[in-house]
A and B are shown apart, each in its own frame.
Chain A
Amino acid sequence: MKYTELAGSLNRTPRFGQGLILLSLLSSFGLLAQQTPTPSNYGSVHGNFQFDGYLYFKDTELDPDGSDYPDEQFLGQGFANLIYQRSNNWGELSAGLRYENYQNPILGYPPGFVGEGITYRFLQWKRDRLDITVGNFYEQFGSGLIHRSYEERLLGLDNAMDGIRLKYTPIDGLYLKGILGKQRVYFTKGPGIVRGIDAEANFNELFDSWADKRNKLAVGVSFTSKFQAANDPFFNLPENVGAAAARATYGIGGFSLNTEWAYKINDPSADNGYIYKPGGGSVTTVNYTTKGFGFSGAYKFIDNMAFRSDRNAGQFELFMNYLPPTTKFHTYALPSLYPYATQINGETGLQLEFSFQLPKETWLGGTRGGSLNLNYSDAHSIVKKQIDAETSIGEAGTDGYETEWFKQGDIRYFQDINVAYSRSLSKAFKATLTYYNIEYNQGTLGSATNSGGLNDTVILNDPSRADMAYINAVVFEGLWKIKPKHSLRFELQGLFTEQDRGDIAMLLLEYSVAPNWFFAVQDIWNYGNADESRRLHYPLLSAGYNTGTTRFQLNMGRQQQGIFCVGGICRVVPASTSMGLTITSNF
């Protein structure tokens, strides 16, 4: 992913004569106030726009039988957002819509993500303590364990709610939310009706006795449920499935604790193989910070918490919740080839992260200081025991299995140890050195040479089926400020393993001229692949230019098959040789 530049900006406030329309809208809301709006304040319209287009080339080295090559040859997609906002003494009104055109999406997008139209439109009114949204909205309860509707456009994931949301703060420190609606799936809506309520109480705001206390406490509770009609001839399926969650955040000085617990009743679905076991989970984070030092530790237990508003949905469709992975997200190209995706049917995770600010004038920090970051992440399966001698684990139409909360299972899915050391080597040169040690369960998670998705039972019977990959990787990144506004950034990466694709090396050189231009050239070379025909080079050239509020970026080259992940959800992008253009604008 490239972050490029957008220079300058616009300072426009189009004034539209929308006062009359607003007045009629507001009277239909029944919230007509005593004062009339100020004539000068008609609000403003802003928006953004993006287009991505790729021209693909046949590449026999990469794809000998041409099966990944798209017939259309050129694939493109785009979207535009428009939002109208107005604030005055009546309150804040905003309305917006998004138009998407994915008739011909680029390679790697989910297969159902094809269509075009206005996929997002809303009207929102905030005043005093009330906030009403009708139409589409995104919402999260707590950490999202039982409800999160969000978008990750780059993944093709968008489960926006389409309905009504009410947020009410009756007294300072008590926050209430209610939602009702259906979720978006691609260019249509899912069959399930989702409803939920959430209440959060912040003790420091709510109670005078807590106002100045050093202790900070906030607690929250939420309920969600979905309704989906059922007419399966074999199973008595629950049409209403509910989940509940409770959370608390406690902090004192530099120490803080955040914990959330969730429970879901029987929810037989395609994800869990139609078992009737209730689901549950808990995520707890402990932080300690002080000047120049930060520690964050997380422990997570998830059992059968796949929660969608359509029991027969798959891939990224119609998730009602969000189960964050307790692993570190790597953005460097080579380490990101082995990402961890949350196993929604059951996992335990542990993460420990330490951040140190290295002071100036020390041996490690150098003359200008630096930083050191240590991370340890681990993900394991959960314990699954047979409920009785006749029922196999995960058998449809039964309770599936028994588990013990917080107990780690025998299968390691993922382990990641990394150290990142960053400092200035001179006034003009800053460098970061990162080391990774990753253990990656290919049988479960999938990789370039293993399609993954194996059941835990298979691996327990034969541990070699886990096909563990042991990876060591090193990344050296340097930034050289050649002269004011001109800088050269380079990355030298090496990934060493005897499994999967073997050793890979990468070099990236990026030359930027602030604020308008950048040029980059990179090559990834899979020199260690056991299959000699796949010891390929993947060169890529990019250039970008900013003008006003618009940015153009051109990419040309060959990209290897990758896994593109956001928040623990990954999609596989097939290898391709292409020339791509991205245009983004903001106004």
Chain B
Amino acid sequence: MNPLFRILALGGLLSWAASCDYIDKPLKNGVLPPPDTTTVIRKALIEDFTGHRCKNCPKASKEIAKIDSLLPGRSVAVAIHAGSDALTAPDSTNGYPTEFRTPEGDVLKQFFRVSFQPAGMVSRLDYGPSGAAHLKLFSSWPSLVSQINLEPATVELEIDGAYNSATRVLSGTVRSTLLAASNADLRICLWLCESDIIAPQLLPDDTRDSAYVHHNVFRTSLNTAFGTVLSPNGGADGQNFDTPFSYTIPSGTDGYVAENCKLVVFVYDNATQEVLQTEEVAVGSL
């Protein structure tokens, strides 16, 4: 064989050296300041499929708390208790009496084919008709949130709402403004979530915490699990769409503590399921 070829082959082999990044400082510097209010940042929606009998799920909740505290104002988190019934259904005999599941949560888990927990989606990236590429391990959520934040926002959401504590009616309008021309099939979802719920949770060391504090728990959707049509074929740059809402927060033992609730709004592209923008507002501040 051609000797030149031999030399090239040998050289090719030797040039594949292992290069290495040795890290001296693992941690980056602390808290990022809240985003600049003059530009619209694309916030990431974290949907965490969790369960009160899922022992590794508290790790995902911790990751959300970390993202909230170190990356304030850059993401909106929702904890959907849906997935395998063995991890999410009530089990009174073993001390997990709470029913956290919801009909909308079950619809979402079916559609997104949630088959292991904790599993989460960040702005529903990488969704496809088959496979599980859109279900991300919680350790990857910070990177994905950052990645989303760096992309220019294409939709701006403003929630103009009010809450009447006497009638328990949460009402108002969500104004969605397109920041770039689009011809996508846009949908909008209005979800109600409740935090500070004290109920048992199975922890990673297999013990039961009877007074665990659950946050961001998905309670109901104001306009069905998949939302309503915002605009079937997008619109022009600067075009507004108003979505009015009015919802009576239930009271009593099966109700929710209104002051601990938040309204989560997000707009997604129905073709790819990707969440383009999200916002939240605490009911207690209205």
A and B touching (Cβ–Cβ under 8 A): yes
Residues of A at the B interface (CB closer than 8 Å) are 30-31, 65, 67, 103, 111-112, 114-115, 127-130, 166, 168, 170, 176-180, 186-188, 195-197, 223-225, 230-244, 265-266, 268-270, 274, 276, 311-315, 397-398, 443, 451, 453-455, 458, 465
Q: Count B-side interface residues using an 8 Å CB cutoff.
A: 50
Taking CB atoms, residues of chain B closer than 8 Å to A454 are 204-206
Within 8 A of A (CB), among B95-153: 113, 115-116, 130-133, 135-137, 139-140, 142-143, 145-147, 150
Q: Tell which of A129, A186, A195, A266 touches B16, judged by Cβ atoms closer than 8 Å.
A: A195
Assuming the A-B contacts A178-B16, A312-B140, A454-B205, are A265 and B71 also in contact, with contact meaning beta carbons closer than 8 angstroms in the complex? Answer: no
Q: Tell which of B9, B18, B56 touches A130, judged by Cβ atoms closer than 8 Å.
A: B9
Q: Closest residue of chain A to B53, judged by CB? A: A451
Cα separation A498 to B273 with both chains bound (whole Å): 50
Taking CB atoms, residues of chain A closer than 8 Å to B139 are 269-270, 274, 311-312
- Give the segment of B22-30, B177-185, B193-201, B216-224 that binds chain A: B22-30
Chain A min CB distance to B139 (Å)? 4
Q: Closest residue of chain B to A170, judged by CB? A: B10
Cα separation A236 to B23 with both chains bound (whole Å): 7
Taking CB atoms, residues of chain A closer than 8 Å to B115 are 111
B1-39 interface bits toward A, Cβ cutoff 8 Å, 1 = contact, 0 = none: 100011001101110111111110111100010000000
Q: Closest residue of chain B to A102, judged by CB? A: B130
Chain A min CB distance to B284 (Å)? 28
Evaluate contact between B6 and A170: CB separation under 8 angstroms: yes
Evaluate contact between A455 and B205: CB separation under 8 angstroms: yes
What are 25 pairs between A and B in contact, CB < 8 Å?
Answer: A67-B86, A103-B130, A111-B115, A114-B131, A114-B132, A115-B131, A127-B1, A130-B9, A170-B6, A180-B16, A188-B131, A197-B17, A231-B147, A232-B143, A233-B70, A234-B66, A235-B28, A236-B25, A242-B19, A265-B20, A270-B137, A276-B23, A312-B139, A312-B143, A454-B204
Taking CB atoms, residues of chain B closer than 8 Å to A166 are 9, 12-13
Assuming the A-B contacts A178-B16, A235-B28, A265-B22, are A115 and B205 also in contact, with contact meaning beta carbons closer than 8 angstroms in the complex? Answer: no
B84 CB–A CB distance under 8 Å: yes
Evaluate contact between A65 and B26: CB separation under 8 angstroms: no
Chain A min CB distance to B62 (Å)? 10
A-B contacts counted at CB < 8 A amount to 152
Evaluate contact between A234 and B70: CB separation under 8 angstroms: yes
The binding surface of chain B is classed by DSSP as loop
Evaluate contact between A458 and B19: CB separation under 8 angstroms: no
B215 CB–A CB distance under 8 Å: no
B237 CB–A CB distance under 8 Å: no
Q: Closest residue of chain B to A270, judged by CB? A: B139
Q: Tell which of A114, A232, A240 touches B142, judged by Cβ atoms closer than 8 Å.
A: A232
Cα separation A115 to B133 with both chains bound (whole Å): 12
Cα separation A130 to B13 with both chains bound (whole Å): 12
Evaluate contact between A115 and B132: CB separation under 8 angstroms: no
Shortest 7 CB-CB contacts between residues of A and residues of B: A111-B115, A242-B18, A238-B21, A112-B132, A312-B140, A223-B18, A225-B18
Evaluate contact between B20 and A112: CB separation under 8 angstroms: no
B81 CB–A CB distance under 8 Å: no
B202-217 interface bits toward A, Cβ cutoff 8 Å, 1 = contact, 0 = none: 0011100000000000
Cα separation A270 to B27 with both chains bound (whole Å): 16
Cα separation A224 to B136 with both chains bound (whole Å): 26
Evaluate contact between B22 and A236: CB separation under 8 angstroms: no
Evaluate contact between A270 and B85: CB separation under 8 angstroms: no
Taking CB atoms, residues of chain B closer than 8 Å to A188 are 131, 133
Chain B min CB distance to A507 (Å)? 31
Evaluate contact between A168 and B9: CB separation under 8 angstroms: yes
Taking CB atoms, residues of chain A closer than 8 Å to B132 are 111-112, 114, 186
Cα separation A458 to B206 with both chains bound (whole Å): 9
Q: Tell which of A180, A195, A241 touches B21, judged by Cβ atoms closer than 8 Å.
A: A241
Taking CB atoms, residues of chain B closer than 8 Å to A112 are 131-133, 135
Q: Closest residue of chain A to B143, judged by CB? A: A232
Taking CB atoms, residues of chain B closer than 8 Å to A312 are 136-137, 139-140, 143
Taking CB atoms, residues of chain B closer than 8 Å to A111 are 113, 115-116, 132, 135
Taking CB atoms, residues of chain A closer than 8 Å to B142 are 232-234
Q: Closest residue of chain A to B205, judged by CB? A: A458
Q: Closest residue of chain B to A399, judged by CB? A: B26
Taking CB atoms, residues of chain A closer than 8 Å to B13 are 166, 168, 176-178, 197
Taking CB atoms, residues of chain B closer than 8 Å to A242 are 18-20
Evaluate contact between B23 and A465: CB separation under 8 angstroms: no
Q: Closest residue of chain A to B150, judged by CB? A: A231
B55 CB–A CB distance under 8 Å: yes
Evaluate contact between A465 and B206: CB separation under 8 angstroms: yes
Cα separation A103 to B131 with both chains bound (whole Å): 9
Chain A min CB distance to B4 (Å)? 11
Query: What 5 additional pairs, Cβ within 8 angstroms, besides A186-B132, A196-B18, A225-B18?
Result: A114-B132, A130-B5, A232-B142, A397-B27, A465-B205
Evaluate contact between A236 and B26: CB separation under 8 angstroms: yes
Q: Closest residue of chain A to B71, judged by CB? A: A233
Q: Tell which of B32, B137, B146 touches A232, judged by Cβ atoms closer than 8 Å.
A: B146
Taking CB atoms, residues of chain A closer than 8 Å to B19 are 225, 240, 242
Assuming the A-B contacts A170-B6, A312-B139, are A241 and B20 also in contact, with contact meaning beta carbons closer than 8 angstroms in the complex? Answer: yes
Taking CB atoms, residues of chain A closer than 8 Å to B16 are 178-180, 195-197
Assuming the A-B contacts A67-B85, A231-B146, are A238 and B23 also in contact, with contact meaning beta carbons closer than 8 angstroms in the complex? Answer: yes
Taking CB atoms, residues of chain B closer than 8 Å to A234 are 27-28, 66, 70, 142
Evaluate contact between B10 and A230: CB separation under 8 angstroms: no
Specify which of B18, B56, B84, B150 lies most central, judged by the most chain A CB atoms within 10 Å of its CB. B18
Evaluate contact between A268 and B12: CB separation under 8 angstroms: no
Cα separation A397 to B24 with both chains bound (whole Å): 11
